[in-house]
Structure 1
């Protein structure tokens, strides 16, 4: 008798340590920007310890913000919230020409 294991991950979002979907990319981008900020500060002549302190603070802030967004909005909630801001509150039509054009065509 051959047993086949069932893949229970079908149609589920990618998840890593509690982060879902696009938040993994947001965390990676934030940590990459933290590394770049550290390098720029060091090249500009800041002391190693101050650069390290700034990098640690930025990294911790990035983790806190991204995990908070993931827990608050879930997989697609943040994209829905950003899209909702682009929807107009109302549509104002000051002319009847558009309706006449609909009737003609």
Structure 2
């Protein structure tokens, strides 16, 4: 008898759930846990239940909208690339050439010793 093997066609694809890709699922989960804790703290402090529900509902809606918008706008790794690109300096300023002269000498010494 022939053995039947199932082929997994999802290899090397990002995790996707209801349109959310990769790390955005984690962002949404963490945000929902924070909202739950915020609701519990407000309720224990004695804030009226309807006010707690309205605040949690508004913040939850904003969280969903922001997370889905970022997921669709930047994709799997786009947001991290965007944030990393912002940290790259536009130019480097050096007041002397000494750094580059020493760097060249060290490289020459290493090449000669090998």
Superposition deviation, residue 65 in structure 1: 0.5
Paired residues, number: 105
Q: Where does residue 85 of structure 2 map in the other structure?
A: 84
Following the alignment from structure 1 to structure 2, what is the Cα–Cα distance between the partners of residues 104 and 62? 54
Matched residues in 1 for 2:51 and 2:104: separation?
Answer: 70
Unaligned runs of 5+ in 2: 107-114
Equivalent position of 1:22 in the other structure: 23
TM-score of the pair, normalised by structure 2: 0.87
Q: Deviations over 1:22-70 (max 9, x none)?
A: 0000000111111111111111111111111111111111111100000
Distance 1:99 1:61 in 2: 50
State the 4+ residue runs in structure 1 displaced beyond 3 angstroms: none
What's the secondary structure of 1:54's corresponding residue?
A: helix
Aligned to 1:67: 68
Structure 1, gaps ≥5 residues long:
none
Matches of 2:97 and 2:86 in 1, distance apart? 28
Q: Secondary structure of 2:87's partner? A: coil
- RMSD, aligned CA: 1.0
| Matching residue of 1:53 | 54
